[in-house]
A and B are shown apart, each in its own frame.
Chain A
Amino acid sequence: MDPKLDLLYRLADDQLILGHRNSEWNGLGPILEEDIAFSSMAQDKLGHSLALYTLLHELGEAEPDTVAFTRNAPQFHCCQLVELPIGEYDFSLTRHFLFDHAELLRFEALATSSYEPLAQVARKLRGELKYHALHANTWMKRLGTATEEAIERMQNALNFTLPYALGIFEKTEAEAEIISSGLFIGEDELRSRWLESITKVLSQTALEVPDILALTPVAGGRYGQHTEHLQPLLDEMAEVFRLDPTADW
């Protein structure tokens, strides 16, 4: 695949699927303020994915609605982390923390991409992502230093989620060209920045951080290999759209 398309699909699909998942917190949050916060972040992520699908469309791919609402799981390039069900708040918060740190650093780096249309989008999105990371940090520090119960839950969530989070940085065949053409700094560099960034926050909690690089990443998502959770999500997302794909909804 063309390196630009390869990179854009990964970015856009991650944002779409996590935005969709975060929106499922409507009505279910532990406090109303968190329903509202997850909805805000979901709306941002949907907006980000739309901006990226629009870039893809400008490169000759189908319309954003068609790309988002008609593909099946094997055609998606998101990491498996984003497709997991929302679970309980400890998992959703931990996923949000681990993902959005990577996302903020990714878009900060993309702000100087050699592909100017993407650099422009990145400069706009990084401002929003800063707030997503801030939100995650606040809650990680609060719950990660609170009751025994909360610390235990957050520790379990962290242990469970980290291998999936490493899947964010799964490389594709286009990786070398992506780096050499100046499109992006590359996944290894991003991962090392991410590690530093999350460790700084986690060190202010009572949580124990394992040797993250020694963990086996849950990979495959970038190549269309997904958990059993993605296809049902896509079926639900397209349920109305597919009733009449010619219709203007």
Chain B
Amino acid sequence: MYGSASTHDLPTTAVTGLENEDPILLAEFEARIARGEKIEPGDWMPALYRKQLTRMIEQHAHSEIIGSLPEGTWITRAPGFRRKMAQMAKVQDEVGHAQLLYSAAETLGKTREQMLTDLINGKSKYSNVFNYPTPTWADSNVISWLIDAGAIVNQLANAKGSYGPYCRALDRICAEEAFHLKYGHDAVVHMATGTPIQREMMQAALNRWWPAIMTFFGPSDKMSVHTEILMRWKVKMASNDECRNQFLDMYVPKIWEIGLTLPDANLRKNEETGQWEFTEPDWEDFKRVINGDGPCNAERIAVRRAAEENGAWVRRALLTPKTQYVRPLA
């Protein structure tokens, strides 16, 4: 997990600010990216590039730690040793991803402490799917399989982006996500082919999660803000609809294969266009939830805030008067 369409709330004014940049440096910068070179922390970059990447990597990092909460609550309830140990290892990986990503974002000049402060103050977003509840073990399995699957689609694309530290973090993250996918799939298959109670739990969880999964990649391209410059700078590597279609192509057949159904009568692949057709997700609801009014927004932030506040004395103790923030090199 868990990075998703973290860029879906990029400002519409993505092209402003460039008039202040040195045109020669800007042209060199764009030529490097066009040649497929990576931009490194010490390199010249437009202020807008720095800002957008910081926002994107930061949101991805937040999605990892907030995303560890709904599955984390099932660690203590996972049925049996095998699942309990795997669930712990899986969720631990996600927190590790957050650690990697905060470090990648720090190379752009913003401290982890500041990013976490922005998270708990609501200034900074995270993947919207984690604002929905996971009332059963099967919900946690759906996240492990399908939300991680969606994240992989997105992250494999972004790993080919232009910013070196983010790409290297994503390469490592994707390698671990591949295991999560196997874990999630295995857990879902056990439930979907298990006892009547298990099958019922799994189908109910999938029905609950499907609308959120359909919004995972962000609003339809038709509604999306102008992202041409972000595509040219290889900050955003694939459109929301491209990612969504690829995900449906890869996973809907697998879901049907194990005897589960999806709660959308219009879901089908148009063999002529190669595109999936489906009932348009409720984007108004999506906006409402991402802006703070979802079933779990307050709870997620409250947990994070409590962790920050309860642990503040430890962080104070680690700092000596001479300790200063040092930006990581890469």
Residues in A neighbouring B318, C-beta threshold 8 A: 31, 142, 146
Expressed in whole angstroms, the minimum distance between the Cβ of A35 and any Cβ of chain B is 5
Expressed in whole angstroms, the minimum distance between the Cβ of B301 and any Cβ of chain A is 12
Total residues of chain B contacting the partner, CB 8 A: 45
Assess whether A43 is in contact with B92, with CB atoms less than 8 Å apart: yes
Q: How far is the CA of A143 from the CA of B319 in the complex (A)?
A: 11
**CB contact under 8 A between A32 and B190, given known A69-B80, A146-B318, A147-B316:** no
Within 8 A of A (CB), among B50-105: 65, 68-69, 72, 74-81, 83-85, 88-89, 91-92, 95-96, 98-99, 102
Residues in B neighbouring A33, C-beta threshold 8 A: 99
B274 within 8 A of A: no
Expressed in whole angstroms, the minimum distance between the Cβ of A40 and any Cβ of chain B is 7
Within 8 A of A (CB), among B154-206: 187, 190-191, 194-195, 197-198
Total residues of chain A contacting the partner, CB 8 A: 46
B315 within 8 A of A: yes
Contact of B69 among A27, A42, A247 (CB under 8 A): A27
B306 within 8 A of A: yes
**CB contact under 8 A between A247 and B316, given known A20-B76, A237-B77:** no
Q: How far is the CA of A50 from the CA of B317 in the complex (A)?
A: 37
Contact digits for A161-189, partner B, Cβ 8 Å, 1 yes 0 no:
00000000000000000000000000000
Residues in B neighbouring A30, C-beta threshold 8 A: 307, 310-315
Assess whether B314 is in contact with A32, with CB atoms less than 8 Å apart: no
B15 within 8 A of A: no
A239 within 8 A of B: yes
Assess whether B197 is in contact with A243, with CB atoms less than 8 Å apart: yes
B145 within 8 A of A: no
Assess whether A29 is in contact with B316, with CB atoms less than 8 Å apart: no
Q: How far is the CA of A47 from the CA of B95 in the complex (A)?
A: 21
**CB contact under 8 A between A249 and B83, given known A31-B311, A150-B313:** yes
B303 within 8 A of A: yes
A24 within 8 A of B: yes
Assess whether A149 is in contact with B80, with CB atoms less than 8 Å apart: no
- Among A146, A240, A244, the one with the most B-chain Cβ atoms within 10 Å of its Cβ is A240
A36 within 8 A of B: yes
Q: How far is the CA of A133 from the CA of B277 in the complex (A)?
A: 57
Assess whether B68 is in contact with A36, with CB atoms less than 8 Å apart: no
Expressed in whole angstroms, the minimum distance between the Cβ of B136 and any Cβ of chain A is 8
Contact digits for B233-244, partner A, Cβ 8 Å, 1 yes 0 no:
000000000000
Expressed in whole angstroms, the minimum distance between the Cβ of B118 and any Cβ of chain A is 16
Within 8 A of A (CB), among B304-330: 304, 306-307, 310-318
| Closest 3 pairs (CB-CB, A-B) | A30-B311, A30-B314, A146-B317
